[in-house]
Structures are given as structure tokens and as C-alpha cells.
Structure 1
Amino acid sequence: MINILKTKFVLLARNPASFIIITVIICLFAYILGLGQQAKFPIAVFTDLEDQQTQFFMKELGKMPNKSFELFEEREAIEKVRNGDREVAIHLKEDGFDLVIAPDYMDAPLLQHEVSTIYSKVSQKQAIIQAYPVDKQNEISAVIDEAVANPSFHINYSNFSNDGAFIWDAKLHSLFGFTLFMVIYTVANGVNHIVMERRSHIWDRLIVSSIRKSEIYIANLVYSFILGYIQIAIVLAIFYFGLGVDFYGGFYQSLVIVIPYVLCIVALSIFIASIATTPGKFNAFIVVLAVPFAMLGGAYWPLEIVTSETILALSYISPITYGMDLLYGVTLNGSSLTDLIRPLGMLLFMTVVFMGIGINVMEKKEVR
């Protein structure tokens, strides 16, 4: 069995194009549809302040989520709002600020509140510093900066939501959805070796050798599983460590909880391999099944927005549905293992059924 595994990985090392291409496709689609659509709202800024003060305010403004601030000359900033290149511009002044907004910009009160908060912090700091003698003001300023950088205690904010409420994260959804979808092709490529070996009679030579048939099956299944699991681990690691996607403390749990899904896809591929007589038919069956499974399983869009009862009923036959439930459970929803029993059980049930039927059909074909 070990020798068969070594041979398959040597062949993969010689021709890794398919594995690499699918991995790159997953990353590109997940980034474009997840991170790419989270473009920050651009806001123009012009100022009457000195350079040091301007830099401080630009740094504070940059802390606002989902907004980007760019410094312009006054005439250029106003012209951009007038031409529609920017919906709002901020005029920074010594005693306050002004907003130059487009007629259809509806978030002016919210932006005004956020900028007012920054000015309040600055005014508070200046008031504290000016309360001390001039010769101690630099020292007091340094103490305040140190206190801000290293606070004595931290405040965490949380909110309550209704049980069963729909929680949405576009970054995680696109990442999980396309990863679970595209890994089907990677696992199928591994299982396709069985079809090719049976077609070219290599399988018959292995059977008559000293290697037991069970070892041949196990070697192929382990190879396909490792191939799919490594791809998922690589993609998730790229987005977690490289792009800083928030897994809500469940990154390492997601690497574990995805194992039943990969096993189910391996079993599904074995089932398809048992009914496909040629590699071409096998690939065709995979394509025909993978895309509908992705659509029904919520890989492209969340099932919570689907209103058709028929589509929701059909979603229960897709392994991707349960894979998404598991990944969302250990990340965004913070579910316990007890809460994940249903998707875990369904994936394991599918694995047993597909694997049992697939291997039995293969064996009956050999007897004939």
C-alpha cells in the first residue's frame, strides 16, 4: 500500500499542473467575490491644518472601517464631489470640520458623528495638556500617548441576536463555498486514476500481484483524501495568514471539521467511478453533479435568501450544504460539537452509503 501511495505522489510531483491550477482558481474566485467586493468607500479630504496635525487626523480617519481617505487640495476635492468622483469630502479646520456632500449621499449624519468623535478626542487631549505648565506639557503628552497605546483595561463590545438569526460574512462565504466546490474536482482527479487503471488493465495486474485488493482500494482512497485535504488547508491558510480573513477564532477547528466533508467527496467519487466505464464519462458525471451540488448547497449564495421550498428541499442531497454548516458552525456561529451532530452525521451517512455501493458495484463488474 505504501508503495502505491509513493508512486501516486511521485506522479503528482511530475505533473502538478491540475492541482496548482485548481488551487489558484479557488483563491482568485474567493478573493474577487469575497474580499474584492468589500471595496472601501472613498472620501476626499482637504485641510487648513499644519502638516503634523493633518497627518494625525488622517491616521485617525484611516482607522474607520470600510472607508478610505485621500488628501487633495481644496479646489480639487470640491471638484471631485461636484463631478461625482467622490460622494463626500471632509474639510479639516482648527476649530472643527465641514462636510461637502453630494445630494444623494445618505450617510452624512453617521460620518459626521464619527469625525466628531475624533475631534472630541483631540480636544480632550489638548485640554488636559494645556492644564499643566508649559515646561511639563511634552511630558504629559507622552504619558497620554503611552496610556492610549497600553490601556489599563480593555472593553469588548458584543450584541445579542435572536436564535436562528441569519449572520452573514461575504468573505467567509465565498471562501468556504468555492473551496468546497472546487475541491470536488481535485478529489475526483485522484479517484479518476482508478478508472484509468481499470481501463488500461493496470488494475488487473495489481490484483494478481502480492498486494491485497483491500490495500489497493485503501491506497487510492487515502491518496484522494490527502490531495483534497491538503488543497483545502493551503487555501484556508493563505486567506487566514496571508490576507487576514477573520475566522472568528475557528481557523484550526475548521481544518479539523472539514475532514468528514472530504471523506464524503471521496466516497461520492468512488460511487461515480463504479458506474463510469471510461475516464471521459467519469469527468462528465463529476461536472454534471458538482455544479448543481454547489448551487443547491449554498456555495454561490446563502440558502437563507432562497425562498423556493423545492430548492431548499433539494439542498439536503448536496454534501456542500453540510460542509458549509460545519465551517460556519466552528467560525461565524461559534457552535458546539453537539450543535454540529446533524451535518456531521449526514456526511458520515453519505460516506458509508456511497462507499459501500461504489465498491460493491466495482466488485460485481470484475466478477462479470
Structure 2
Amino acid sequence: MMDILKTKFILLKREPVSFIVITVIICLFAYILGLGQQSKLPIAVYSSLDEKLTETLLLELKKMPDVDYTLYDEEEALKLVEEGDVELAVHLQSNRFDLITSPNFLNAPLFQSEISTIYREVMQNETILNTYPVEQQGNVQSILEDANNNPSFIVEYANFSNDGDFIYDAKLHSLFGFTLFMVIYTIANGVNHIVMERRNYIWSRLIVSSIGKTQIYTANLIYSFLLGYLQVILVLSIFHFGVGVDFYGGFLKTLIAIIPYLLCIVALAIFVASIVNTPGKFNAIIAVIAVPFAMLGGAYWPIDIVTSKIILALSYISPITYGMEILNGVTIYSGSIAELAQPLGILLFMSVVLMGIGINVLEKKGQS
């Protein structure tokens, strides 16, 4: 078995182009989509509130990172959205706010949630102030600010899901999404050796040699897994240590938690290899599977903003859905591995089923 592994890594050393190209693509796309957008997103604001309250809300909104809120009159703000100069406008009102978006802007639910929290806090403070006479409002405001800066107690959330609140980190999302997506091709390249060896009758010669069939399968599976795992470690390390992406203290847990996903992709590739006869067909099916899995699994955009029930239902068949849930869980939500038992269990279950079917079909083909 070790001889087979050694041979495969020697072949990789001689022809590392595919591995290097996929690694570079992951880094390039993750950087461009998650880290390369240094300019702040412009958002127009127009208000039906009084000048003082509008200024207070605007100051709070401007604390949001990577966003530039600018106050306009109503006609100008709507014109900016209509002409495509800004993707989003916010209309501040006494008891609500409205979002006016361009047709192609997909992140409105994210801003709806963030602005809602800020709006609710500011309006709550304003309501409290208005219950007191004007001459006392200055003292009340000071008390509120002091209470906000020095709370009597601090509430800490123990569960990784944070009571269902959706937290979005564009840098991590693009990094995780493209890593999970592109590593499918890397692992598939490793499993493709089985298809080529069977077609060129190298597999038959190995079987009649002194090497056991179990060792042959194990060596190929370990090689495919290590190939993908090496790429994941390399990419995540570049962004963590080189680029400085914040993993929220979960970098090491990320490297552990991603293992079930990689095992599932190895099993998926084995299943595909069992139903095709040529390397060309294998690569074609992998390409057809990988892109929809990435779209359904939330690799390109957060699955949390999807409203279609059909798409959400289909997302459960994509391993990337569970991979993203696990990686976000151990980083953004600071969850433990034990708290992610469900997605981990589903990935392992998918691995066992796909691997079992794939190897059985391969064996039946070999006997026919």
C-alpha cells in the first residue's frame, strides 16, 4: 500500500500543474470576491424624521464596517438607485424604515437585519427620552450612555447558532465557498487515476499481484483524501497567516472539521468513477455535479438569504451545504465540534453510502 501511495505522490511531483492551478484559482477568487473589495459600499439615506434624530441614526449606521451611508433628499436618493449609482437606499421614518434596492442587489436581507437592530436601539432610547421633560432629557441621555458603556451584567451566548441570528463575513464566506467548491476537482483528479488504471488494465495487473485488493482501494482513497486535504491546509494557511483573515479563533478547528466533508467528496468521486468507463466522462460528470452543488450549497452566496423553498429543499443534497455550516459554525459562531454533530453526521452518512455503492459497483464491473 505504501508503495502505491509513494508512486502516486511521485507522479504528482512530476505533474503538479493541475494542483497548483486549482490552488491559485481558489486564492485568486477568494481574494477578489472577499478581500479585494476595499472600497466601502455606498448607500443612500433619506429621512422623514427631524434633523437631530436623523443625525443620531446616521452616526450609528456609519459605525457599520465596509459601508458608506450618505444623507440625500428623497428625490436624489431614489434617482441614484434608479440610475444604478447605488444599490440600496434607506428611508428612515418615525416607526419604521424602508429599503429601496436595485433589481440585482441580493444582500438586502443582510442589511435589513443589521439596520433593524440599530434602528430599534436608537428609537428605544428616543422613546425613553421623550417620556421626560425637556429640562431632564440631558441627564437621562447621560445615564443611558453610561449604562450602555458600563452594563451591570454581560450576557454570553453558549450555543453556536446565536439564537438563530444570521452573521455574515464576506471574507470567510468567499474563502470557504471557493475552497469547498474547487477542492472537488482536486479530489476528483486523484480518483480519476482509478478510472485511467482500469481502462489501461493497470488495475487488473495490480489485483493479480501480491498486493491485496483492499490495500489498492485504501491507497487510492488515502491519496485522493490527502491531495484535497493538503490543498485545503495550504489555502487556509495562506489566508490566515499571510493575508490575515480572522478565523475567530477557530483556525485549528477548521482544519479538523473539514475532514468529513473531504471524505464525502472522495466517496462521491468514487461513486462517479463506478458509473463511467472513461476519464473524459468522469471529468464531465464531476463538472456537471460540482457547479450545481456549489450554487445550492451556498458557496457563491449565503444560503440564509435564499427565500425559494424549492432551492432550500434541494440544498440538502449538496455536501457543500453541510461543509459551509460546519466551517461557519467553528469560526463565526465559535461553536465546538460536538455542537455540529448533525452536519458532521450527515456528511459521514453520505460518505458511507456513496463509498459502499461505488466500491460494490466497481467490483461487479471487475468481475464481468
Shift of residue 170 of structure 1? 0.2
Q: Is the 8 A contact 2:192 2:273 kept in 1?
A: yes
Structure 1 distance, partners of 2:185, 2:11, is 18
Q: Which amino acid aligns with 2:170?
A: A
Q: Which amino acid aligns with 1:268?
A: L
**Counterpart secondary structure, 1:25:** helix
Shift of residue 333 of structure 1? 0.6
Structure 1 distance, partners of 2:24, 2:244, is 18
Tell me the residue number matched to 2:237: 237
Shift of residue 65 of structure 1? 6.4
Q: Counterparts of 1:321-360 in structure 2 under 5 Å?
A: 321-360=321-360
Q: Is the 8 A contact 2:191 2:221 kept in 1?
A: yes
Structure 2 distance, partners of 1:288, 1:66, is 35
Shift of residue 2 of structure 1? 0.4
Tell me the residue number matched to 1:183: 183
Structure 2 distance, partners of 1:307, 1:159, is 30
Q: Which amino acid aligns with 2:194?
A: I
Q: Is the 8 A contact 2:257 2:337 kept in 1?
A: no
Q: Which amino acid aligns with 1:22?
A: I
CA RMSD across the alignment: 2.2
Tell me the residue number matched to 1:295: 295
Q: Counterparts of 1:168-247 in structure 2 under 5 Å?
A: 168-247=168-247
**Counterpart secondary structure, 1:163:** helix
Shift of residue 36 of structure 1? 1.2
Structure 2 distance, partners of 1:33, 1:41, is 13
Tell me the residue number matched to 2:361: 361
CA separation of 1:260/1:40 partners in 2, compared to 1, >3 Å: closer, same or farther?
same
**Counterpart secondary structure, 2:164:** coil
Shift of residue 336 of structure 1? 2.5
Q: Counterparts of 1:153-172 in structure 2 under 5 Å?
A: 163-172=163-172
Identity over aligned pairs, percent: 72
Shift of residue 159 of structure 1? 8.6
Structure 2 distance, partners of 1:235, 1:17, is 16
Structure 2 distance, partners of 1:302, 1:41, is 18
Q: Which amino acid aligns with 2:307?
A: T
Tell me the residue number matched to 2:268: 268
**Counterpart secondary structure, 2:225:** helix
Unaligned runs of 5+ in 2: 43-63, 69-153
Count the aligned residue pairs.
260
Structure 2 distance, partners of 1:66, 1:296, is 27
Shift of residue 338 of structure 1? 3.1
Q: Name which one, 1 or 2, has greater alpha-carbon Rg.
A: 1
Tell me the residue number matched to 1:315: 315
Q: Is the 8 A contact 2:23 2:231 kept in 1?
A: yes
Shift of residue 158 of structure 1? 9.1
Structure 1 distance, partners of 2:67, 2:350, is 45
Tell me the residue number matched to 1:152: none
Alignment partner of 1:258 is 2:253: no
Tell me the residue number matched to 2:134: none
Structure 1 distance, partners of 2:210, 2:269, is 27
TM-score, length of structure 1 as denominator length: 0.68
Structure 1 distance, partners of 2:65, 2:212, is 60
Q: Which amino acid aligns with 2:245?
A: V
Tell me the residue number matched to 2:47: none
Q: 1:41-63: CA deviations, max 9, x gaps?
A: 89xxxxxxxxxxxxxxxxxxxxx
Q: 1:60-86: CA deviations, max 9, x gaps?
A: xxxx96599xxxxxxxxxxxxxxxxxx
Q: Counterparts of 1:138-153 in structure 2 under 5 Å?
A: none
Shift of residue 37 of structure 1? 2.0
CA separation of 1:23/1:158 partners in 2, compared to 1, >3 Å: closer, same or farther?
farther
